[in-house]
Amino acid sequence: MPVRLGVGLLCWVWPTLLWAQAPTLPDEEEEEEPSAPSLPDQAPEYESVDDRLARVEAELAQAEVTRPAPSPITFSGYLDFGFFVPFGDGAGIVQDFGDRTLARVRPDDAGRFAWVFLGDILGTTVNSRGEAADLGPEPGIDRFDSINSRGAMGFVLNEANLVLDAGLGTRARATLGVNVVPRTGVEFSLGDFIELDLAQLEVIVSEELPTSFFVGKVEPVIGVEYKRRKSNTRFGITPSLLARYTIGPQLGLKARTKLLDGWVILAAAVTNQSATQEQFHFAEELDSNDGKTGSARLALRIPLEQLFPEFFAGGLELAGDVLVGAQDRALDSEGLFHLVGFDFEYQGVDLALRGQFLTGGSPGRAADRAYSLDLVAAGYAELELMLTPIFGVMARADFRNAWVTLGDSRAYLTKTWRVTGGLRASINRHLTVKAEYLRNFEYRELPAFDNDIFTSSLVMSY
C-alpha cells in the first residue's frame, strides 16, 4: 500500500528534513567511490579462502556504514522584484451604482443585492502570484488588499522564494517551498507574511510503469498552468484569467502515471479543497466539511518530436480536466463545486503553445460565507517564442464570463477579455528580466473602464 507507506513516511520525514545531518541513502548518481578497505598486511596463515572472503565483505560493509553520506539536500529559490504601472485606479472592478448595468444584462437579478460590481477582481494582476494592483471598492467587507496601490505605480518585492529538496533514497523525494512576501503594515502590524507554498513527499512506485504518489501540500493536477505557476518557471509574468481555479496548492494525496509507452498520462488527486488560489473567493486550506474533492486529468501525449523530428522539438498533450467536491467553506457536503474542461500544450525548445478552457459552478451558501459561482466559461491560449537564446516574446488571449454572488449582499458580474503581450530576456541562468502589458476589455454590455496594467519583473534565481 504505497499511499499508507507515504502517510507513514510523512510523519517522520519532516523532522528528519530539518535535521540536515540525518543519514539517508545517497542517490546512486551522487555516490562517491568508497575508499576500498585495505586488506590487512598480515592475514593469519590459517585463514581459509572462504573466511578471508567473508572478512573482506564484512569490512567493506563496515566501510559503507561509516562513510559519511553525501548531503541529499539542495536549496534553490529566487527573488522576484517587480515594478508595475496601473492605468486607472488599479482595480479590476467598478461598482454598478443603482444596478444600472445589471438591470440591462440580468434584469431578474436587479435590486437583489446590496452591492454589485462589474469587471474581474483579479484582472489587474501585477505578478506571478496573481495579486491585483488593487482590490477596489470594498464596502461591507474587510479584505486583505495585499498590494493596495490605489492607482500608484511602484516597486514591489513580489516574493522571496526558497525551495528545499531532499532525496530520501532513490525512490522518494521531499520538497518544501516557502514564500516570504513583504507587504504594507497596517495598524502597527508589519503586513509581511510567510506562505508555505508546497510541502510534499513524492514516492516513485515503479520505474517500469512510471508512477509517482505525492502526499502533503501538493500542486494540483488539472490544466497545465500549475506547472509554471512560479515566476522562475513562467515564461511571462502574470497568470491567465482562469489560473485562479487551477493553480492553488491542495492538501491531500495525488498520483501520476504514464501508460501505453508514455502516450497516455493520468493524474488524479483527493484533497480537502478545490484547486482555487487561496486569495480568491472559493478556497480554504483546512476543511470545514467532511467532503473531499476529487480531480483528474487524462492526457494523450503525441510524441511529435519522435514522429516528425524535422518539424518538432517536443510533444503535444491534449487533455480533459475534471474537478468535483463539496464546496469549500460550506459546513456540510451537500453543495458541489465542479469544473470541467480541456487543455492542450505543445512544449518545444524555442516555441511553446498552450491553453485551456473551463466551465463550472458552485451553489454557494451565504450562511457559511460560501460564495456561489456560475462560471459560464473561461479560457486562454498563450504562445511563447524564444527569438534568440536570450530574447523571447509571448502573446496571450484570455476571457472569463462568470457570475459570483454571496447571498443578497454582493454580486460580481464578470464579462472580461484580455490581450497580453510580453518580452523576456534570460540574461543567464540566474537572471531573467520580463515585461508585460495587459489590456483588459469589457464585453459590450458592460461599461468600459480603465483597468490596463504594465508590469515588469526581475527574477534572480539561485
Query: Residue 78 CB, nearest distance to Ca ion (Å)?
Result: 21
Q: How far, in Å, are 24, 41, 44 from residue 48 at the CA level?
A: 36, 16, 9
> What is the DSSP secondary structure assignment for residue 434, as one 8-state letter?
E
Indicate the length of the chain as a whole number: 462
**Contact flag: residue 250 with Ca ion (CB under 5 A):** no
Query: Residue 124 CB, nearest distance to Ca ion (Å)?
Result: 10
Query: Residue 109 CB, nearest distance to Ca ion (Å)?
Result: 23
Name the residue with the smallest CB distance to Ca ion. Answer: 285
**Contact flag: residue 327 with Ca ion (CB under 5 A):** no
**Touching Ca ion, residues 376-435 (CB under 5 A):** none
Binding segment toward Ca ion, per CB under 5 A, in 147-155, 158-166, 413-421, 429-437: 147-155
Residue 296: all three cell numbers together: 483528474
Cα separation, 269 vs 255, in Å, equals 6
Among 145, 219, 384, 398, binds Ca ion (CB under 5 A): 145
Neighbouring C-beta atoms of residue 191, cutoff 10 Å? 14
Cα separation, 102 vs 415, in Å, equals 12
| Nearest residue (CB) to Ca ion, 83 versus 449 | 449
**Contact flag: residue 287 with Ca ion (CB under 5 A):** yes
Binding segment toward Ca ion, per CB under 5 A, in 54-62, 140-148, 162-170, 380-388: 140-148
Size of the site for Ca ion (CB under 5 A): 10
Query: Residue 116 CB, nearest distance to Ca ion (Å)?
Result: 18
303-306, long-range: CB < 8 A, 24+ apart:
303/262, 303/263, 304/346, 305/348
Cell 451604482, located at residue: 97
**Contact flag: residue 148 with Ca ion (CB under 5 A):** yes
Binding segment toward Ca ion, per CB under 5 A, in 164-172, 356-364, 376-384, 447-455: 447-455
List Cβ neighbours of 85 (8 Å cut-off, separation of 6 or more).
Answer: 153, 453, 454, 455
Cα separation, 366 vs 330, in Å, equals 9
Cα separation, 396 vs 203, in Å, equals 36
**Contact flag: residue 440 with Ca ion (CB under 5 A):** yes
Locate all alpha helices (DSSP H) within 194-262, ordered by sequence: 243-246
- Identify which of 342, 416, 345 has the alpha carbon closest to the alpha carbon of residue 119: 416
| Nearest residue (CB) to Ca ion, 107 versus 139 | 139
| Nearest residue (CB) to Ca ion, 362 versus 451 | 451
Among 291, 341, 348, 392, binds Ca ion (CB under 5 A): 291
Residue 32: all three cell numbers together: 562517491
Among 134, 159, 197, 436, binds Ca ion (CB under 5 A): 134
| Nearest residue (CB) to Ca ion, 19 versus 155 | 155
**Contact flag: residue 122 with Ca ion (CB under 5 A):** no
**DSSP output for 8-32:** HHHHHHHHHHH-TT---PPPTTTPP
Binding segment toward Ca ion, per CB under 5 A, in 74-82, 132-140, 177-185, 379-387: 132-140
| Nearest residue (CB) to Ca ion, 158 versus 289 | 289
| Nearest residue (CB) to Ca ion, 52 versus 183 | 183
The residues of the shown chain that bind Ca ion, judged by CB under 5 A, are 134, 145, 148, 285, 287, 289, 291, 326, 440, 451
